[in-house]
Structure 1
């Protein structure tokens, strides 16, 4: 751009300058006359006409100082030995004054020609637009960086908090166990049982938070893969436990896992527990929950389906997001991490977890995991 200015005007020096109310700084320079100014170099603002151009927010164009009625006696041409001069303000789209696009020479030049002035004005506008674009990009990147740092700190805090809560919660659980054994005092024993239930729920919430933090902080949910010969029995134990805790719900369980599966047994139990717990929480109370498990084409196929309100198509893609809960969720129904953790467990087993919600089949979560992964 500066090269084009010099070629079109015949002037030997052109620059983009940052001009404030106190400083004049060269940002880009084209110098073929050894004026001696490099990018980053500064001039005394009051020795330049850019000072006056900035104050008036208008261009200053002079073909020949020695014959100009207004500027023939000005100190700027005397200081720098100039005859021709043009300076056009660079103003950002939002109205902020950035500086000037200018050119100078010790020889006269026809810079007042309309095409030359128009060229400077167009270039100044383009520079302003580019600067504004870069400024907005820098601002966006800074905001994103701050958001990432805040998110990391938040998740680190969650992880530390979850870890530090384990010890006092263990003490609460132990106290609840002792109270529940006070068979000679039924009222105290009942209090102990309720406290045990509450402590167990708190422990599950802390486990969810810890798993979430590990997943978000980069280490991911860890799995220890070992061949499990009787996975169906272990999964059935999870179903029985939740059925016992929810005796009013009908659960139909069909597990026919006839081959060993290389997996993390505890994580697989956690996976089914979360999926079944989700079905109990959000499924219709009068509709059965159907659990199916089998081996198909070298994959473990596990599904949990429930009746009730369908998940809207526009929200299906969000069900595995952390902290997401449907609008119909009752208060106190959890943190909204269960399905996110399910997704992480399945991914750690190199598998896939999908959800469908249709009138024909209800809401069905389907897991496929390679048997020998």
Structure 2
């Protein structure tokens, strides 16, 4: 049985209406065998069968086309109706009724919606039946038209599913490659940084120290990019950002360290830190620090050079709230809708550092904690990113 026939059998098998159609045909005509057949230039293949006769032909069963009347139907595209084959003017000497021992028979052609021939819907029985000049023929021809529409719909659905499955497989393979590549980059970056730190301790002149310090800075920047890529790959692979959630006695030290570190890298910028009650919060403190670092770095990069960056953290009405505010050009509404998507960049007209993953990763960290990110931006008030995390009840 060829691949195309097998595919057609599977298609008919997925159409829920087919068993009901065969049941209606048998109940209406009184015949005990009905089938949907795929007919090619050489074979008749059963795609669906209702056999109350013991005919012995199941789904996938094949007949030599020359032994059937479907060969004629395939050629002239006309329905064949026989009440009693042994007395029929056209078929009383035909070999097909003798081979398959039937008296009553009806078979209607099934065409695809593009007009090509698919096969037939047929029924037969050894007992004669009154089929001619009855509603049976128009009913079965209507079933054939319905079946053609269902075949096209099912084939379109299967093509869509196959394309979607292929795209998913490609995307997963690509992201797995990114993850493996990120892991493999860690070792040479670590070796480079460790070697530069060792040489820096032994450097005898300012020029050498400057070069080594530049190597260390570049190494740390590359390591951060690798971490961003790995977090992106984890998020896109469906596992989400990895967390180590624990009760944290006080987040003050973690938040303060982030702000101090970024201010050290940007000493000319003013960063204001206001911390309220941040005690007893269930979270991953390292990931919260990463979230804050990404938000502050974003504010430094996009905020007004002469305006302060304000960081506020507090617990308000059972919700941990962490906000980062900056002055400067507001974010357009169309851009806001894409801010937390990967590789999203705000049009500043200046060269961009990084991969555009900072806000995406911040949002993934928020979601992984069961919280959410919000953004408000206007000419008058500036831009405020806020992370909100409902506090978990004490165990």
**TM-score interval, smaller chain:** 0.7 to 0.9
Selected match of 2:341 from 303, 321, 329:
321
**Counterpart in 2 of 1:26?**
46
CA distance in 1, matches of 2:366, 2:94: 78
How far is 1:365 from its partner? 1.2
Aligned to 2:148: 128
CA contact (8 A) 1:180 1:191 kept: no
Aligned residues of 1:228 and 1:263 also touching (Cα < 8 A) = no
- Which deviations, in whole Å up to 9, do the C-alpha atoms of 1:165-207 show, x marking residues without a partner? 1110011112333454565433332222222121111111111
Please, what TM-score do these two structures have when normalized by structure 2? Answer: 0.81
In structure 2, relative to structure 1, the CA distance for the partners of 1:325 and 1:90 (3 Å cut) is farther
Residue aligning to 1:210? 230
Quote the residue 2:243 is aligned against: 222
Look up the match of 1:303.
323
The structural deviation recorded for 1:314 is 4.4
Shift of 1:330: 5.6
261, 279, 283: which is aligned to 1:241?
261
Pick aligned residue for 2:362 from 342, 349, 355: 342
Q: Which residue of 1 aligns with 2:12?
A: none
Query: Which structure 1 residue ranges, 5 or more long, are not aligned?
Result: none
Whether contact under 8 Å (1:320, 1:340) holds in the other structure is yes
TM-score w.r.t. the length of structure 1 is 0.85
Which residue does the alignment assign to 2:295? 275
Offset at residue 35 of structure 1 (A): 3.1
Shift of 1:274: 0.6
Return the alpha-carbon distance in structure 2 between the equivalents of residues 116 and 323 of structure 1.
Answer: 63
**Residue of 210, 235, 258 corresponding to 1:190:** 210
**Matches of 1:362 and 1:114, distance apart in 2:** 79
Q: 1:171 to 1:33 in 2, by over 3 A?
A: closer
Q: How many residues align?
A: 372
Q: What is the deviation of 1:100?
A: 0.8
Q: Which runs of 5+ in 2 are unaligned?
A: 1-20
CA distance in 2, matches of 1:305, 1:95: 65
Aligned positions of 1:107-146 closer than 5 A: 107-113=127-133, 115-146=135-166
Q: Over aligned residues, Cα RMSD in angstroms?
A: 3.0
Closer, same or farther in 2 for the Cα pair 1:176/1:104, shift >3 Å? same
Classify 1:58/1:279 alpha carbon distance in 2 versus 1 (closer, same or farther; 3 Å).
farther
Identify the range of structure 1 (160-169 vs 336-345) with the bigger mean alpha-carbon deviation.
336-345
C-alpha separation in 1, matches of 2:324 and 2:82:
82
